[in-house]
Structure 1
């Protein structure tokens, strides 16, 4: 039996558009290079496919510079998909663009309809619960509506809090297996992972925390050798992907796909 928190048969990605240079960012660390991003994105898709999964590759959306970061638009669960309501106004339209692809894959697609906001980057599905981090992009009302929908499908949801200055909850953590979480020390210090096995990113490599376990692989941002070595010693099969361009837009490994 598959573990729905990290064993998947399908993923959805979207190729970056030339408008990516206008993507949102907390601070300006340089303009993303489209060609480099396309190369890295192709390597990312190839890694997903190498596990035997089907990858649905959606075309670029020039009207939405951040649309490559598909994870924020939905939460995919075994019972159905839930369309999110992004907290960044410029990203609200991405959800309607994603909806048809999800309706092709799922019999049931629900949506956040209230006045609250919630983004997929703030949601970590573990082997036992759904953790949702309150952040600048996810508020109490959004979490409450999501908890109601997920609860109807039998999922337990727990609200946690993202450290100040951190964009999304999963900027600082990722699932390695049903009971193991890779986390920065600052996030783990909040106590949100009590009862889990927690592996810490190496000092100075906090940006490595956003990885994804996808079937037998861990897709991991290149350039963080001590954390990569630690994961390898722990028995994980790490595939390093160049994240240089996505990082300029506060993006990481989990942001680039919906997995189900």
Structure 2
């Protein structure tokens, strides 16, 4: 197992009004979103993960994407500072749950004028690759770097031009293997990794979760599934149709850590 705990939040009815800066696929269907989220939780549980399920927040349409207002590691947690004003207060809503798992001196915050979202943070060993994106600025990265340094970990900033977040374009799968799409194919930032190149028409499937007990991937992407299988990963597919409509991926829906 690569992690044994996950935190998720139920989608609210307001999820139909979630932010859509990229997908342009129409509004989500709430009933389907609930079904997909339940399947997500069920699969995590089946794969041996203890899942903490938080109540829906009707005032925050994107709050089911718990990965953005916090970053969790085995040693510390960071309450981030989302860029979009509609998401800023999500940080206050996630903190009480983080405090149940981390001691006070292991919880940090990104403060103004810094902005950072968890979807831009990819952890590989003792290195954090952090996307410099429309949602994460240099000040946010600098603050995170100071935090990581306290624990002997380094930060590498990576420009994000084509995608919403860094992990919308690349995901670390373990064993030095990195799923890459678009601008990150043959990127000098990731030259030390074995790159698993995702075909353009299946870019959405670059965002997967390796639990260490199987890879969770979005359903309907046969080329990526075949590639993962060829590289020795057992895959589990789930439908993500409604969350994809509001720029959400698999990793967005949970905070994953060991506790």
Post-superposition offset of 1:78: 1.3
For 1:257 and 1:122, the matched residues in 2 are separated by: 14
Please say if residues 68 and 82 of structure 2, whose CA atoms lie closer than 8 Å, have aligned partners that are also in contact: yes
Cα deviation, 1:181-223, whole Å, max 9, x if unaligned, reads 1111421333221111110112411111111112212111111
Q: Which moved more, 1:11-20 or 1:215-224?
A: 215-224
Q: Which residue of 2 aligns with 1:14?
A: 9
Instruction: State how 1:220-259 maps to structure 2 within 5 Å.
Output: 220-259=217-256
For 1:54 and 1:239, the matched residues in 2 are separated by: 18
How many residues align structurally?
Answer: 254
For 1:112 and 1:185, the matched residues in 2 are separated by: 29
The runs of 5 or more residues in structure 2 that have no matched partner are none
Tell me, what secondary structure is at the counterpart of 1:245?
Answer: helix
1:126 to 124, 127, 133: 124
Please say if residues 126 and 152 of structure 2, whose CA atoms lie closer than 8 Å, have aligned partners that are also in contact: no
Q: Which moved more, 1:45-54 or 1:57-66?
A: 45-54
For 1:56 and 1:73, the matched residues in 2 are separated by: 16
Tell me, what secondary structure is at the counterpart of 1:71?
Answer: coil
For 1:165 and 1:8, the matched residues in 2 are separated by: 30
Q: Which residue of 2 aligns with 1:113?
A: 111
Post-superposition offset of 1:51: 2.1
Post-superposition offset of 1:165: 3.5
Cα deviation, 1:112-141, whole Å, max 9, x if unaligned, reads 123110000001001241100100000000
For 2:45 and 2:152, the matched residues in 1 are separated by: 30
- Does residue 176 (structure 1) correspond to residue 176 (structure 2)? The answer is no
For 1:188 and 1:201, the matched residues in 2 are separated by: 8
For 1:128 and 1:100, the matched residues in 2 are separated by: 27
Tell me, what secondary structure is at the counterpart of 1:37?
Answer: helix
Q: Which residue of 2 aligns with 1:41?
A: 37
Q: Which residue of 1 aligns with 2:148?
A: 150
Cα deviation, 1:71-114, whole Å, max 9, x if unaligned, reads 00111111121100111111001010000000001112111123
Q: TM-score under structure 2 normalisation?
A: 0.95
CA RMSD of aligned residues (A): 1.2
Q: Which residue of 2 aligns with 1:87?
A: 83
1:61 to 39, 57, 62: 57
Q: Which moved more, 1:190-199 or 1:86-95?
A: 190-199
The runs of 5 or more residues in structure 1 that have no matched partner are none
